[in-house]
Amino acid sequence: MTTETNLFITADEILGISVECFSCHVRSTVSFASGDSAQAIATRTACPHCDKRWFITGNDPVYTALVKFVSALADMRARSKEIENRAMPFGITLEITSDAFRASRDAD
């Protein structure tokens, strides 16, 4: 018998953003608690350590999606208390697989 566990997290449970350069393997992690810094990590177009270009231009669709994703996540984190305070009849969670959770814990 196979057992599968799915994990659900809310936006306010996400503490920060981490970006790892596949060229030099340096990881930059920024906490959402530090304000605009989480936005700054998403707007980088090159590695801060080895200067390897990640995106050719700011018009790259992956770059645009990354900036929008981080912005939306930061916005949802900021609004999580608003949703709670307004007693809105819904909750929003992100589902991650237990395999992804285990892999990230094993890497640390």
- Confidence band for 100, pLDDT divided at 50, 70 and 90: low
Q: Which class for 81: exposed (0-12), middle (13-18), buried (19 or more C-beta within 10 A)?
A: exposed
> What are the two backbone dihedrals, phi and then psi, of residue 52, each rounded to the nearest 5 degrees?
-65, 130
- What totals of helices (H) and strands (E) does the chain contain, helices first? 3, 4
Between residues 3 and 70, the one the model is more confident about: 70
Tens of pLDDT along 7-56? 888 888 888 888 899 999 999 888 877 665 666 777 788 898 999 998 87
Mean pLDDT of the chain: 79
Between residues 40 and 61, the one the model is more confident about: 61
Long-range pairs for 49-57 at CB < 8 Å and ≥24 separation? 49/21, 49/24, 50/21, 50/23, 50/24, 50/26, 52/21, 52/23, 52/24, 54/21
CB 45 within 8 A of CB 21: no
Q: Where are the domains of the chain?
A: 6-107
What pTM did the predictor assign?
A: 0.69
Q: How far apart are CA 90 and CA 36, in angstroms?
A: 28
